[in-house]
Structure 1
Amino acid sequence: MNPILHKIVETKHSEIERSRGKRLPTRSIPIQNWKSHLKTSSVSVIAECKKGSPSAGVLRPEYDPVSIAKDYETSGAGAISVLTDELYFFGSLGDLDSVARSVSLPVIRKDFILDPIQIDEAYAYGASAILLIVRILTPEQLRSLLAHAHGLGLSVLVETHNEREVNIALDAGATTIGINTRDLDTFEIHKNLIEEIAPKLDPSIIRVAESGIESYEDWQKYKGVIDSMLVGTFFMKSQNIKRDFHNLLNGSK
């Protein structure tokens, strides 16, 4: 495991222990239907709210996740991803709660989830879905966490990076598979990965392309083999999210 990823996972274990026994708020907003927003007649966008990352540092100094999320919704996003990791991505559960209350789209808690308590937090703070990363979980953990999320009515985006991880995800019962072109061990982007893996997935699976999408041309070659794309850094660097959202989907001409 990459040293940065290893450090993040170790930090998560410490955070989880501190979270045990804390009282969570009572959820007061409905769960939004994940599949109906992402499995449509065209490629949908899971638009991401993140202030920064370990590899890129602060991406958006003037970070207002609610304002960003509203821009995403009016631009036609299918769902919104909110980074909740505080130490490495500068997010919070408060961001998740605020965004979930401000839009009528499914909101996904994007974090390094290792324990059911983090899924309980996601539910309590308004998420309609969570992210699970195969790279940091055993097959048994993945299966157990998937079942826990589904028991709460939450959808799950299961992130993979190769065919072995895809098979682990499918064996665990995943119905939404994210294919992350960024190798979490090296942080390198492998853009051909989507074309290699996505066509092999059953069309009933919601197939999500992750990382490295920064232009209309980047995702056009994936048409017909993906249902959705998760886009974060491109929007966080944008000076005009609505304009660049339109250009990403339609081209800038």
Structure 2
Amino acid sequence: MNPILHKIVETKKSEIKVSRGKTLPDRQVPIHDWKSHLKTNSVSVIAECKKGSPSAGILRSDYDPVAIAKQYEESGAGAISVLTDESFFYGSLRDMESVAKVVSLPVIRKDFIIDPVQIDEAYAYGASAILLIVRILSTSELKTLHDHANRLGLAVLVETHNEGEVNVALEIGANTIGINTRDLDTFQIHKNLIEEIAPKLDKSIIRVAESGIEKFEDWQKYKGMIDSMLVGTFFMKSKNIPADFQSLLNGSNATQSQ
């Protein structure tokens, strides 16, 4: 495991010990259906609220997840991903809760989930879905967490980085599989990964392309292979999210460099 990823997971273990002693709030929002928003006649967008990352630093100094989420919904996003990790990605559960209260879309908790208490938090703070990363979990852990989320009525995006991890995801019954082209060990982008893996997945699976999508051409070659794409950094660097959202979908000129 990459040293940064190892450090993140170890930090999560410490955070979870503290979380176990906290009383969770009552959920304030409905669970929004995941499949109907992502499995459409066209490629849907899971648009991400992310202030920064360990590799990129602060991406958006004027980060306002609620304002960003409203722009995403108005632009036609199928779902909204919110980074809730505080120590490395500058997010919080409160960010996610605030977003979930103002949109009528599924909101996914994007974090390094390794314990059921984190899923209970996701439910309490308004998530309709969670992310599980195969790379940081054993098969039995993955299944336990996947099943726990499903019992709460939450959808699960299972993130994979190679064909072996996809097979693990299928083994535990995942019906939404993310293919992340960013290698978690080297942080390099392997754009051919989706073309190698996605066509092998049954079309009943919600197939999500993750990382490295910054322009229309980046995902056009995946049409027919994927149902959705998760896009974060591209939007976080944008000076005009609605315009760049349409440029990504339709191939018009982007505004980021203007």
Q: TM-score, normalised by structure 2?
A: 0.98
1:245 is matched with which residue? Answer: 245
Following superposition of structure 1 onto structure 2, how do residues 43-192 of structure 1 map, counting pairs within 5 Å? Answer: 43-192=43-192
Structure 1: distance between partners of 2:55 and 2:28: 36
SS of corresponding position for 1:18: helix
SS of corresponding position for 1:80: strand
CA contact (8 A) 2:182 2:211 kept: yes
CA contact (8 A) 2:131 2:159 kept: yes
Structure 1: distance between partners of 2:201 and 2:137: 21
Query: Which whole-Å deviations, capped at 9, do the CAs of 1:61-116 have from their partners, x for residues lacking one?
Result: 00000000000000000000000000100000000000000100000000000000
Structure 2: distance between partners of 1:97 and 1:28: 9
**In structure 2, what residue type is equivalent to 1:82?**
V
Q: Tell me, which stretches of 5 or more residues in structure 2 are unaligned?
A: 254-258
SS of corresponding position for 2:179: strand
Q: Does 1:221 align with 2:221?
A: yes
**Alpha-carbon shift at residue 21 of structure 1 (Å):** 2.1
Q: Does 1:31 align with 2:44?
A: no
Q: TM-score, normalised by structure 1?
A: 1.00
Structure 2: distance between partners of 1:209 and 1:223: 11
**Alpha-carbon shift at residue 45 of structure 1 (Å):** 0.1
Structure 2: distance between partners of 1:4 and 1:175: 29
- Percentage of matched positions with identical amino acids: 79
**In structure 1, what residue type is equivalent to 2:201?**
L
2:256 is matched with which residue? Answer: none
**Alpha-carbon shift at residue 20 of structure 1 (Å):** 0.6
Structure 2: distance between partners of 1:170 and 1:185: 23
CA contact (8 A) 2:109 2:129 kept: yes
Runs of 4+ in 1 over 6 A off after TM superposition: none
In the alignment of these two chains, the number of paired residues is: 253
**Alpha-carbon shift at residue 252 of structure 1 (Å):** 1.2
Structure 1: distance between partners of 2:132 and 2:185: 17
CA contact (8 A) 2:199 2:225 kept: yes
Structure 1: distance between partners of 2:173 and 2:115: 18
**In structure 1, what residue type is equivalent to 2:97?**
D
